[in-house]
Amino acid sequence: MRSTPKTGNAMTDPLLSIRDLTVQFQTQDETITAVNHVSFDIPKGKTVGLVGESGSGKSVTSLAIMGLIPQPPGRITSGELLFKGEDLLKKSESEMRKIRGDRISMIFQEPMTSLNPVFRIGSQIAEVLMLHRGMRKKEAWEKAEYLLDQVGIPDPKKKIRAYPHELSGGQKQRVMIAMAIACEPELLICDEPTTALDVTIQKQVLDLMLDLQDKYHMGMLFITHDLGVIADLADDVVVMYRSNIVETGPVDTIFTNAKHPYTKGLIACRPLLEGNPRRLLTVADYMDEAGNEKIVPAERFEPMVKEDKSGNPVLLEVKNLKTWFPVKGGFFGTTKDHIKAVDDVSLTVHKGETLGLVGESGCGKTTLGRTILRLQSATDGEVIYDGTSIMDLSGEALRAMRSRMQIIFQDPYSSLNPRMTIGDILTEPMAIHGIGDNKKDRYARAQELMRKVDLKPEQLSRHPHEFSGGQRQRICIARALAVEPEFIICDESVSALDVSVQAQVLNLLLDLQEEMGLTYIFISHDLSVVNFISDRVGVMYQGRLLELDTAEEIYKNPKTDYTRNLLAAIPKGIPKSLLQQRRNTL
Amino acid sequence: MWQYILKRLLGAIPTLLVLITISFFLIRVAPGGPFDTEKSLPPEIQANLEKKYHLDEPLYQQYLRYLGNILRGDFGPSFQYKDFTVTELIAKGFPVSLTLGGLALLLAVIIGVSLGTVAAVRQNSWVDYALMSTAMTGISIPNFVVAPLLILFFAIYLNWLPAGGWNGGHWLYLILPVLALSLRYIAYIARLMRGSMIEVLRSDYIRTARAKGLSMPKVVLKHALKPALMPVVSYLGPAAAGIITGSVVIEKIFGVPGLGRYFVQGALNRDYTLVMGVVVFIGVLIVVFNLIVDILYAVLDPKIRLQGKG
């Protein structure tokens, strides 16, 4: 919690005052209103959290402030953006250029792609200083080195000459921050700056931003789809839903006394470590399609009780599994060393159980999943599925085994072939594995699958691009179910989704498990999600399985420092007072 | 770096060996021989000539002898130009071809990249459409059609430029052959550049550059140009090979005394050693040029580490 007093209405002299902003985009067929008569203030030295799901108009709002809306197709049809009393919309492009990067700067979501890959990071930071401060190259590089130190890059003297690909994701985002604060801006806009990062890195970056804000007294606009992230950070919260602002207020009030059903849904949909209902509440529980509030039935709050499934028969046994990748070098390309992606991992999964695997990027959890499915060949060890060792299976036997084990990937955008209809996507694996008597029968099965994942059977003739991210992930789930598997590996399957959509997909996975007796391995970097869905949880670090226990035990009594650190880094999500309140209702 | 270059050059040896072997036997499969003339020579003179050039030996022996000579850097004597060795002929023709090809490649890159960039920045405007449809036309027309048309227009109708000849490389004599040789590469590079520039301009780091307050020309020239050049650079290898082979035709049409002329005449006269010499020389040239392209690529893209850099 911040030490500064929360001032929701001290707007006497706002740094930026957005008045009645409307932004429209012209497509071939229609005019889309992306931002609809939006008004709010960003006070000096304060942080405003702008919350909403993808497509709610929050990023467009920020781009409008920067004057970076592509026109055409974009058009600002009404409103004022009063920056210290001056309307940014009335400024010419050359006047805006002087403001951008100097008085108002911005940090973007994707640190991986937001830095120019062919220039050294030093030159990318120095460029801003040379442009706005008229510094000479040498002076600008010195300042850049100082800034890198300020944002916590180790050994800035050396790192300043690095190219972006030589840095980790967290370091790249620090470089972005250094670039954004180089000219000590009055307003800093952060568009989902930590969404692509691991929890521990997210915490470090958020802490850094708080420090910098205190130091430079910047106003901050913090955009996110996840209310949990800004609970510790923002003074005020603005909630956007379908291009409109539905609620604004000081952060505490929003969490404890949300008025709008959408806000209530957003707060409730995030799984908590401290306990959850049987199925996560979603926005749809609080609000109907038309936007009217619904009364949430009491049984929806019934707490999740996890049965002990350790008595069930063992479905999968992994014994001393190793997946090493050779590092080649030298004149003859001999193997010099190995990257031990999976190093001596043993575990068992029981029928009907969900085993969660958590860990940071690069810990080997994805490789482990792929090795179990034989999408990646193992260096050593054994995988026994339902009594059969699958390491030496080939041909027909391997194919038969493949239909029993499926995987759902992280990115619902790139894992569906854009040129195939959903019907083809769902019936293709059936045809491969000889499920269904003929085309007609397979199509009927596909329709049934669509119903199972809460999509309309009529939509089978459509193509992937006509669906939202959440819907696409449902299609991926349906595709995995098409071959009637018993065992599914979910590899970061909800990580790319907004929290509200994530809750729906998690609920769906639980429903399907109950209905069809599925067994899951659920891989994720998000500990609260893993805690919610898993019966047992394994923590991975540098290719090794550090500990494996029931979800409750891992979260209440972590045995290793690494797990304790991971747990401490999770954003608290909601203020403690509310937590207490929610626990009482459970 | 040196290790990488050495590795690549060693790796080219099998390629060159295959090239030598195939062309050695192919040209001998072609009917006729180097000393067939309208009037047939007396058999004893024919036999003497063949003996002198070892053409009476079995084919495999000739092949091994040729390989041995090449290893010593000796391309042998020309059958046609009896006073010259093949090495001398190449040394005479190469500077001419290099001037022609080099200028054509340079022109293709400079104009292609500029036009492509302009088209990308003005995407979907009339400028873009005009440039790209012209480029499409440029790609579709082969150079043996372009060259006579250029001669017809600029040399015969307008009488601005000479229709052919070399004149020691005087710039007036260079314009038409260089243009004829480079047109389709200008067109192709422009299309390539447009596509890659459009993609780069949509990328997140260009948005970052804009958010810094840089002006659009600066964003394009500083932040977008270098990454957008990558596909063009990787096309330079095939483009250079194309220009080298294309120059055979162009040199013939414009009467330019370069390698290409020797190549065509050598092939027609079954001047085995001359054809082989030019083939091997061009082969080495292409290998070396591809190596340069790969090194250039690594210079442009810091992500690429040349293998074996150690």
- The residue among B212, B222, B223, B233 with the most chain A CBs within 10 A of its CB, best to mutate, is B212
Whether residue A68 and residue B3 make contact (CB cut-off 8 A), yes or no, is no
C-alpha B28/C-alpha B32 separation (Å) is 8
Mean pLDDT of A306-332: 84
For A19-33, the pLDDT digits (tens) are 999 999 888 888 888
What pLDDT was estimated at residue B309? 40
The SS3 of residue A575 is coil
Per the CB < 8 A criterion, the answer to whether A320 and A381 are in contact is yes
Question: DSSP strand E in A366-470: where?
Answer: 380-385, 388-389, 405-408
**Subunit contact A131:B212, Cβ cutoff 8 A:** yes
**What is the per-residue pLDDT for B38?**
66
Q: Do A105 and B211 touch (CB under 8 A)?
A: yes
- A475, A480, A484, A488 alpha-carbon torsion, rounded to 10°: -130
Which domains are present in chain B?
Answer: 93-268 (1.10.3720.10)
A68 vs B contacts (CB less than 8 Å)? 207, 210-211
Q: Which residues of B touch A163 (CB under 8 A)?
A: 302-303
Look at residue A12 and tell me whether its pLDDT is greater than 80: no
Q: Which two tokens stand for residue A164?
A: 């972006």
Whether residue B213 and residue A329 make contact (CB cut-off 8 A), yes or no, is: no
Percent with pLDDT over 70 in chain B: 97
**What pLDDT is attached to residue B297?**
83
- The residue that leads in pLDDT, A539 or A273, is A539
Q: Which helix (H) or strand (E) holds B216?
A: helix B216-218
Kindly report, residue by residue over A242-257, the tens digit of the pLDDT: 889 999 999 888 888 8
C-alpha radius of gyration, chain B, whole number: 24
End-to-end Cα spacing for chain B: 8
Residue of B nearest to A113 (CA): B204
A331 CB neighbours in chain B (<8 A) are: 3, 7, 308, 310
Q: H helices then E strands: how many in chain A?
A: 22, 20
The shortest CB-CB distance from B303 to any of A99, A117, A127 is to: A117
Q: What is the DSSP letter of A466?
A: G
pTM here is 0.78
Q: What is the pLDDT of residue B232?
A: 92
Greatest CA span in chain A, whole angstroms?
75
Average pLDDT of the residues in B193-214: 92
- How wide is the angle at C-alpha B127 spanned by C-alphas B125 and B128, nearest 5°? 70
Torsion on CA atoms A200, A201, A202, A204, rounded to nearest 10? 90
pLDDT (0 to 100) of residue A572: 64
Most B CBs within 10 Å, among A94, A102, A107, A114, to test the B interface: A114
Alpha-carbon distance A550 to A528, whole Å?
14
Q: Is the pLDDT of residue B116 over 70?
A: yes
Q: Check residue A386 and give left, alpha or beta (phi > 0: left; psi -120 to 50: alpha).
A: left
Torsion of CA B277, B279, B285, B291, to 10 degrees: -130
Q: Mind listing the pLDDT tens digit for each residue in A411-441? A: 777 888 888 999 999 999 898 888 888 888 8
Closest CA of chain A from B126, distance in Å: 16
Which residues, including other chains, have CB under 8 Å from residue A436's CB and lie 6 or more apart? A427, A430, A442, A445
Separation of alpha carbons A63 and A93, rounded Å: 14
- pLDDT tens across A114-167, in order? 999 999 999 999 999 999 988 999 999 999 999 998 888 888 898 899 999 888
What are phi and psi for residue B20, nearest 5 degrees?
Answer: -65, -45
Closest CA to A151 of A199, A119, A107: A107
pLDDT of residue A2: 43
Chain A residues whose CB is inside 8 A of the B124 CB are: none
Residue type, A483: V
pLDDT for A4: 44
What is the spatial distance between Cα B195 and Cα A583, in angstroms, rounded to a whole number?
56
Rounded alpha-carbon distances, angstroms, from residue A528 to A275, A464, A490, A586, B53 = 10, 29, 16, 17, 85
Summarize pLDDT for A267-297 with one digit per residue, the tens: 888 888 877 888 888 888 888 887 788 888 8
The answer, yes or no, to whether the previous bond of A72 is cis (omega within 30 of 0) is yes
Nearest-CB residue to A116 (from B209, B213, B310): B209
Contact A544, A362 (CB under 8 A): no
The pLDDT tens digits for A218-231 are 999 999 888 878 88
pLDDT of residue A10: 45
Contact A498, A470 (CB under 8 A): yes
- Quickly count: other Cβ atoms within 10 Å of residue A304's Cβ: 15
pLDDT band at A584 (very low <50, low <70, confident <90, very high): low
Contacts of B7 in chain A (CB under 8 A): 331
Q: Cα–Cα distances in Å, from A484 out to A252, A372, A449?
A: 47, 18, 10
Q: Which of A291, A271, A289 is nearest to A279 (CA)?
A: A271
Q: How far is A165 from chain B (nearest CA, A)?
A: 7
Helix ranges restricted to H, A453-560: 469-481, 499-516, 527-533, 551-556
Residues of chain A contacting B3 with CB distance shorter than 8 Å = 331
* CB A186, CB A101: distance < 8 Å: no
Q: What is the mean pLDDT of residues B214-233?
A: 91
* Inter-residue contact A567 to A558 (CB < 8 Å): yes
pLDDT value for A582: 52
Q: Which residues in B lie closer than 8 A to residue A110 (C-beta atoms)?
A: 204
Distances (CA, A) of A43 to A18, A213, A218, A265, A426: 11, 13, 9, 27, 52
Which chain A positions have a beta carbon within 8 Å of B231's beta carbon? Answer: none
As a whole-number percent, the residues of chain A with pLDDT over 90 amount to: 25
Instruction: Answer yes or no: is pLDDT of A7 > 50.
Output: no
Q: Do B227 and A117 touch (CB under 8 A)?
A: yes
Whole-number average pLDDT of chain B: 86
> Alpha-carbon distance A111 to A114, whole Å?
5
Given a contact cutoff of 8 angstroms between Cβ atoms, the answer to whether A217 and A45 are in contact is yes
Biggest alpha carbon–alpha carbon distance for chain B:
85
Closest CA to B185 of B104, B245, B100: B104
Distances (CA, A) of A124 to A146, A173, B220: 14, 13, 15
* For B200, nearest residue in chain A (alpha carbons): A116
How close A491 gets to chain B, by Cα (Å)?
A: 26
Rounded CA separation B32/A62 (Å): 78
Nearest by CB to A101, which of B7, B212, B302?
B212
Q: What are phi and psi of A239, to 5 degrees?
A: -105, 125
Per-residue model confidence (pLDDT) at position B113: 95
Residue among A119, A85, A120 nearest A12 (CA): A85
pLDDT value of position A55: 80
What is the spatial distance between Cα A509 and Cα B90, in angstroms, rounded to a whole number?
Answer: 73
**pLDDT score for B303:** 79
Taking CB atoms and an 8 Å limit, are A333 and B308 in contact across chains?
A: yes
The candidate with the shortest Cα–Cα distance to A14, out of A187, A192, A232, A132, is A187
Q: Which helix (H) or strand (E) holds A237?
A: strand A236-241
pLDDT for residue A577: 47
pLDDT given at position A574 = 57
Give the full edge-to-edge strand order of the sheet including A74-83. Answer: A31-43, A14-26, A74-83, A86-87
Inter-chain residue contact B212 with A113, CB threshold 8 Å: no
Model pLDDT for residues A31-81, shown as the tens digit of each residue: 888 899 999 999 988 899 999 888 888 889 999 999 888 877 888 989 889
Structural domains of chain A, ranges and CATH numbers in brackets: 14-103+183-259 (3.40.50.300), 119-179 (no CATH), 314-576 (3.40.50.300)
Contact A108 B303 (CB under 8 A): no
Peptide bond between residue B257 and the one before it cis (omega within 30 degrees of 0) = no
User: What's the gap in Å between the CA of B33 and the closest CA on chain A?
Assistant: 45
Question: Which of B204, B212, B310 is closest, CB to CB, to A329?
Answer: B310
Q: How far is A332 from chain B (nearest CA, A)?
A: 8
**Cα Rg, chain A, nearest whole Å:** 25
On whether the CB atoms of residues B160 and B176 are closer than 8 A, the answer is: no
Beta strands in A14-158 (DSSP E): 14-26, 31-43, 47-51, 74-83, 86-87, 104-107
Q: Among A68, A97, A128, whose Cβ lies nearest the Cβ of B207?
A: A68
A113·B203 Cβ contact <8 A: yes
Angle, CA A164 vertex, CA A146 and CA A60 arms, to 5°: 90
pLDDT (mean) for A342-359: 91
Q: Do B208 and A114 touch (CB under 8 A)?
A: yes
pLDDT at res. A37 = 92
CA distance A110 to A95: 27
- What mean pLDDT comes out for the span B255-271? 83
Task: Give the closest-approach CA distance of B205 to chain A in angstroms.
Answer: 4
In which residue are the tokens 């850094």 written?
Answer: A208
* pLDDT greater than 50 at residue A9: no
- Kindly indicate whether the ipTM for this predicted assembly is greater than 0.85, answering yes or no: no
The answer to whether the CB of A357 falls within 8 A of the CB of A522 is yes
Q: Mark residue A517 as left, alpha or beta (left: phi above 0; alpha: psi -120 to 50; beta: remaining).
A: left
A to B CB pairs, distance under 8 Å: 77
Query: Looking at this protein, which amino acid is placed at residue A283?
Result: V
Residue in chain B closest to A124 (alpha carbons) equals: B209
Q: Cα(B209)–Cα(A222) distance, rounded to whole angstroms?
A: 20
Q: What is the 3-state secondary structure (H, E, C) of A274-325?
A: CCCECCCCCHHHHECCCCCECCCCHHHHCECCCCCCCCCCEEEEEEEEEEEE
Residues of B with a Cβ under 8 Å from any A Cβ are 3, 7, 203-205, 207-215, 223, 226-227, 300-303, 307-308, 310
- CB-CB under 8 Å, A331 with B213: no
CA-nearest residue of chain A to B230? Answer: A118
